[in-house]
Structure 1
Amino acid sequence: MKKVLFLALILVASLQQADAQRRGGKGNTTPEQRVEQRMTKLSEELNLNDEQKEKIKALYLEFFQTKMEREERKSKMEELNKQIESVLTDEQQTKFKELSTRKK
């Protein structure tokens, strides 16, 4: 009986661990982590120079550190995208718009 109980306990513990790994802690990222994830992707996709990276990083940090309602977030995100586009070259703007539509 003790062995069965022990095995059941191990099974439950391993299932919880597997579930936690599957979810990957997506909701637990800090604003700085989200900015780094976005910057990594944008740098690879758009081939940003150092000046562009700094400007865009500052824009993202400000956006992610601001608390806002869901409805407000959508309009602020559109505003953020326009600000980011102003930092990019024409070719980069085209790729950025393509990335945005691919995400949707």
Structure 2
Amino acid sequence: MKKLMMICALLFSVITYANAQQGGGRMGGTSEERAKMMVDRLTEKLKLNDDQKTKLTAIYTEQGTAMAKIREEANGDRDAMREKSMKLRKETDEKVTALLTDDQKTAYKAWQEEQRAAMQNRQGGGGGK
């Protein structure tokens, strides 16, 4: 029985370590990889053309690089990081919206609302028990 418990503990620690080495978190990877994932998602929802894809990839790559810099400069100050990152997200959203057609803008706003609702559900929905 002791051997079985030791094997289980060892297996659990190996899995945990391997997950940590792979980034383990959501949205792992480089700025370019995250930008590509976002553009792929938007292409599926908004039917982007090749020119829009190229421009959006550049915008999201720039955002990812700037966000990493904000995190580094914040040095643990969550309030400062939040303020700067909210400003950056707003600027990025304005750049993205400027590239879209009117139909795509409508679909983009709807998609953003879906994302907000999904995030609230993941965070507990704000409802108390």
| Structure 1 CA distance for aligned equivalents of residues 34 and 12 of structure 2 | 28
| Structure 2 CA distance for aligned equivalents of residues 56 and 39 of structure 1 | 7
* 4+ aligned runs moved over 4 Å, structure 1: none
| Aligned partner (choices 75, 79, 82) of residue 91 of structure 2 | 79
Unaligned runs of 5+ in 2: 71-80, 117-129
Structure 2 match to 1:52: 52
Please, what is the CA RMSD of the aligned residues?
Answer: 2.2
Please state if 1:10 is matched with 2:7.
Answer: yes
The structure in which a higher percent of residues are helix is 1
Higher relative contact order (Cα pairs below 8 Å, separated by 6+ residues): 1
TM-score (norm 1): 0.82
Structure 2 match to 1:25: 24
Structure 1 match to 2:82: 70
Unaligned runs of 5+ in 1: none
Aligned-partner residue type, residue 9 of structure 1? M
- Residue correspondences, number: 99
Percent of pairs identical after alignment? 29
